[in-house]
Amino acid sequence: MNRKGLAILMRTKMRPTTPSSTTTPPISPSSEAGEIQIGSRRKNSDGNSSMALKSSDSPRNPEGDLKGVWESMHSVISMSKIDILDPVLKNFSEGYFKLSYEDRRKLLVILAREYDVRRNEVRKLIKQYLGLEFPSGDTIQDTTHEEESLLSSFYRIERNLRHALQPKFEVLFEHINMHPGGLKFMTGLRGDLLSMIAEEKVAALRALDSYLKEKLVTWLTPATLELHHITWDDPASLLEKIVAHEAVHPISNLTDLKRRLGAGRRCFGYLHPAIPGEPLIFIEVALLKEVARTIQEVLWDTPPSPESEATCALFYSISSTQPGLAGINLGKFLIKRVIELVKRDMPHITKFATLSPIPGYMNWLQSKLASQLKIAEAENEDSMGSTFKEDILQPDEERALLKLSTEFTSGKKGIEVMMNLLTSTNYEWAKSDKLLSVLRGPLMRLCARFLVIEKKRGKALDSVANFHLQNGAIIEKLNWMADRSTKGLHQSGSIMVNYVYRMDKIEENAQLYFNEGRIQASSDIHHYLEIVQR
């Protein structure tokens, strides 16, 4: 094994299993926001109340000093002298991740609540604004000298209102962004925020996260990102990031890694100059003769066909290395850039598609089956019957499942047999040709329904579908038994889907989806939907 392979292997093997200083462990159920008592409240000059940290409230611990980090944070926000700002920023950024997770939570709650918008000043300015009488002139030329003076009052209050509506913590993030390592720090801090918001619904933390997300979107424009073709010749430290953060199809060994970076394959990542040597997001591409229908065709064990014979660039995995960038769609820009690059370098590639998982399907299906079982039970108890019934199974499928129930599981109704099979932990149904033959029809039909019809706030319920549809793709084909791994069976019943990017339709499809929630799908997909709706 060469030196680079050994370095990657050692770094991967030696990755700690306990949370690192930047890992955000879950909050205990007793850690409610209302229980935070960090210090006494005092009145600021603007009338807002704030918290003052007391030494007795933040005992020193091996991980960090809450009071010291808070003082550094407060200094950055209130300091005007740039020449002494760098050491204070350094103290804050280094001290933050030395704090325990609970102390970081306390600090962020203080930042969100006590360094927020100056609401007393906002209310005062709004009252002044509403008390002004707007000039009666129809145009600027019609205004008198007196009305010009009145307009000046409007402009002054509007300027002051804009200033008052800027949260105080804006200064902190602006300074950090200009500090070496600042962008990396803020992605870690937002990762903490997202973890905290998932555990407890604190409005101030959600507002802080929303603000920070907007700033990150502004700072991470495509113009600031460098598209990098990742190869085996890259430093071991970069390749180790690929191994560590591959989220869709884990890289099993060094041979697997070399294969994904070798002939017939491509890997591209977005790098930012503020976080050198670490892709923020990366995408893996297979160059194939045709669109792949199973993941094994992509994660091959034998050399692929020559690249010159390829007609399809298949995106089979896209992963982020930064949890703190969740919800920021860098993948949209990455896919478009990769398509442009591949088209330029390999004109013979004419198809751009994905082989994608459907991570939310089985959870949705099991919930749907459970609700139908409750309806069926209610029908047995109520002679009037239910006002709603959904035919998940066709009559012949119902009979076939009941016939097989004695051999594999129990159940008085077809959907009960189906539920028992799909919730079994040994996935016995996926090993039986008889069961696969019976289950294929309903699972494929319902999967089409899940992808196209089931929505949340007008958008696709499945997260991966929503990602590709908002980028302008269409749902092209469902593939049966495409991923037989435990993860594939658990998440999507082994089904995978091809999304296709047609260059002349990308913008139109994206706009229709964004504005109207309209999902573009092939005739194959609509065929399944017609069976569902009969």
Best CA proximity match to 495, nearest among 364, 338, 319: 364
Q: Count CB neighbours of 229 within 10 A.
A: 13
- Residue type, position 407, single letter: E
Could you give the CA distance from residue 397 to residue 328 in angstroms, rounded to a whole number?
43
Instruction: Pull the structure tokens for residue 528.
Output: 């399944």
Catalytic residue among 58, 72, 356, 405: 356
Could you give the CA distance from residue 90 to residue 94 in angstroms, rounded to a whole number?
6
Phi, psi (5° rounding) for residue 230?
A: -85, 125
Strands 312-320 and 281-288: antiparallel
Q: Which long-range contacts (CB under 8 A, 24 or more apart) does 434-438 make?
A: 434/404, 434/407, 435/404, 435/408, 436/481, 438/397, 438/400, 438/401, 438/404
Cα dihedral 460→463→468→473 (10° resolution): -30
Name 359's Cβ contacts closer than 8 Å, sequence gap at least 6: 462, 463, 464, 491, 492
Could you give the CA distance from residue 328 to residue 320 in angstroms, rounded to a whole number?
10
Catalytic residue among 175, 179, 272, 468: 468
For the purposes of burial, counting CB atoms within 10 Å of the CB of 85, is it exposed (0-12), middle (13-18) or buried (19 or more)? Answer: middle
Could you give the CA distance from residue 489 to residue 481 in angstroms, rounded to a whole number?
9
Catalytic status, residue 494: no
Contact assessment for residue 339 and residue 506, using Cβ atoms and an 8 Å cutoff = no
Q: Count CB neighbours of 7 within 10 A.
A: 16
Handedness of CA 276, 269, 296, 483 (dihedral sign): positive
- Most distant pair of Cα atoms in the chain: their distance: 93
Contact assessment for residue 347 and residue 384, using Cβ atoms and an 8 Å cutoff = no
Contact assessment for residue 220 and residue 129, using Cβ atoms and an 8 Å cutoff = no
Catalytic status, residue 356: yes
Could you give the CA distance from residue 215 to residue 195 in angstroms, rounded to a whole number?
19
Instruction: Pull the structure tokens for residue 150.
Output: 């009145």
Handedness of CA 134, 140, 143, 146 (dihedral sign): positive
Residues with catalytic roles = 356, 468
